[in-house]
Amino acid sequence: MNRGTDVVVVGAGVSGLTCAVRLAEAGQRVLVRSAHSLRRTTSCAAGAIWGPHLVAHDRAEHWALESLAVFRCLAGDPARTGVRMRTGVEAGRPGLPAPEPGPGAENVTACDPATLPPGFANGWRYRVPLIDMTRYLAYLAERLAEAGGEVTVGEPVTATELPRLGPVVVNCTGLGARTLVPGDPIMPIRGDLLVVRNPGIDTFFVEHDDDSDGLTTYILPQGDHVMLGGSRRTNDWSTNPEPAVEHAILDRCALAEPRLAGVRTIEHRVGLRPVRPRVRIGADERHPHVIHNYGHGGGGVTLSWGCAKEVLALTGDATRTIRQR
Ligand SMILES: Cc1cc2nc3c(=O)[nH]c(=O)nc-3n(C[C@H](O)[C@H](O)[C@H](O)COP(=O)(O)OP(=O)(O)OC[C@H]3O[C@@H](n4cnc5c(N)ncnc54)[C@H](O)[C@@H]3O)c2cc1C
């Protein structure tokens, strides 16, 4: 048990840090425990573009829109937060039309097919937040420290330890929930992301595909750098960068944006999207003071602020239940 702490959040990815910020700014004394440094979380391997993707829950759109309102405010100070509002194109190949963007995307217009890269037949132009995750995770940690919270990196928490960590415990361990919650159906969908120098790109490009395994194409400008993707491999637990995947991503992106021809990879990040049939958010059945918040698949950044608001309400319920005992 951590003395002098109201809530222990396990996990320092985007889910854990956002919950920790919400809780600390609401006056709770918060400690974050993580098995990895911020740079080594899945969250740091995200592109990241706002948009619920490879994530299932009937409240996903609601959480995404709540997060969008926060990201719009954070985009007012991109140097500090890493969040920028950007215009770009989502395009589909012949036979697989890109659907019109849902609520939240701004300035939505249909693209003239003649303006699309080779191999694409239809698409939409719109404006959404892009988030530079390296800067953004550091920003969340800074904001948490300002609110009196703390992040510690150390040994993984075990399933036995989890309920004993504090008066209220929030489980934001992403794929790590697999060991903390035996039998949970969470599984990885591997994704690769390349960081390259920005040759002057200021609009994003995203391929709309059918979410099947394999390769896809996205180009996300983040100031001096561009994030290039991507890949999708179900149930692949390896986080080893593969040169063949790197070259395939570079080729696809250069075809979509000729200014990327010949760019060199500065960093090859691999992340395992924590995918579940449904996001798990709610109190544990056996230990009601443990609140779960994991399984956000390919949309954890997009849903982060909405889910954290829900966790804040759930921790309030948990605290009241404990006091009544
Ligand atoms: C290539 C790629 C691109 C993506 N693009 C986007 C995008 O554009 N937009 C978007 O919204 N999402 C995107 N995602 C998805 C997004 O990255 C995830 O949904 C999100 O990062 C999940 O965050 P999390 O905090 O729940 O988990 P994680 O980031 O995995 O963090 C889990 C934390 O829990 C800790 N932990 C785990 N087990 C234990 C334990 N036993 N004890 C202590 N600590 C533990 C870890 O150390 C880590 O700190 C992308 C993902 C990938 C891989």
DSSP string over 60-75: HHHHHHHHHHHHHHHT
- Is 146 found in the same domain as 101? no
* Residue 120 in contact with ligand 1 by CB distance below 6 A: no
- Is 259 found in the same domain as 113? yes
User: What pTM was computed for the model?
Assistant: 0.96
- Cα→Cα distances 309→30, 154, 167, 275, Å: 15, 27, 19, 21
- Residues 6 or more apart whose CB falls under 8 angstroms from that of 325 comprise none
- Is 160 found in the same domain as 118? no
Going by pLDDT thresholds of 50, 70 and 90, the confidence category of residue 321 is low
- Is 147 found in the same domain as 114? no
State the CATH number of the domain containing residue 70: 3.40.50.720
Q: Provide the pLDDT for residue 322.
A: 60
* Residue 274 in contact with ligand 1 by CB distance below 6 A: yes
Q: Which domain holds residue 143?
A: 1-82+132-186+276-325
For a mutational test of ligand 1's pocket, the pick from 296, 307, 310, i.e. the residue with the most ligand atoms closer than 8 A to its C-beta, is: 296
Structure tokens at 178: 């697999």
* Residue 180 in contact with ligand 1 by CB distance below 6 A: yes
- Is 140 found in the same domain as 15? yes
In sign, the C-alpha dihedral spanning 271, 268, 306, 308 is positive
Closest residue to atom 48 of ligand 1, CA basis = 11
Residue 325 has pLDDT above 60, yes or no: no
Of the three residues 274, 293, 311, the one that is the final residue of a domain is 274
Going by pLDDT thresholds of 50, 70 and 90, the confidence category of residue 212 is confident
- Is 77 found in the same domain as 89? no
List pLDDT tens digits, range 173-191. Answer: 999 999 999 999 999 999 9
List pLDDT tens digits, range 103-153. Answer: 999 999 999 999 999 999 999 999 999 999 999 999 999 999 999 999 999
List pLDDT tens digits, range 244-281. Answer: 999 999 999 999 999 999 999 999 999 999 999 999 99
Of the three residues 234, 257, 274, the one that is the final residue of a domain is 274
* Residue 193 in contact with ligand 1 by CB distance below 6 A: yes
Structure tokens at 165: 């960590």
* Residue 300 in contact with ligand 1 by CB distance below 6 A: yes
- Is 146 found in the same domain as 75? yes
- Is 118 found in the same domain as 59? no
Count up the domains in the chain and report the number: 2
Give residue 318 CA to ligand 1 midpoint distance, Å: 25
Strand order in the sheet with 83-92: 106-110, 122-131, 83-92, 204-208, 214-222, 225-234, 187-197, 265-275
DSSP string over 240-273: ---HHHHHHHHHHHHHH-GGGTT--EEEEEEEEE
Q: Provide the pLDDT for residue 292.
A: 98
Of the three residues 232, 253, 274, the one that is the final residue of a domain is 274
**Nearest atom (ligand 1) to Cα of 180:** 41
Going by pLDDT thresholds of 50, 70 and 90, the confidence category of residue 54 is confident
**Nearest atom (ligand 1) to Cα of 49:** 8
- Is 153 found in the same domain as 32? yes
- Is 266 found in the same domain as 225? yes
State the CATH number of the domain containing residue 227: 3.30.9.10
For a mutational test of ligand 1's pocket, the pick from 8, 41, 55, i.e. the residue with the most ligand atoms closer than 8 A to its C-beta, is: 41
Residue whose entry in the numeric block shows the structure tokens 């290039």: 228
- Is 323 found in the same domain as 305? yes
Secondary structure element (H or E) that encloses residue 14, with its range:
helix 14-25
- Is 160 found in the same domain as 70? yes
Residue 45 has pLDDT above 90, yes or no: yes
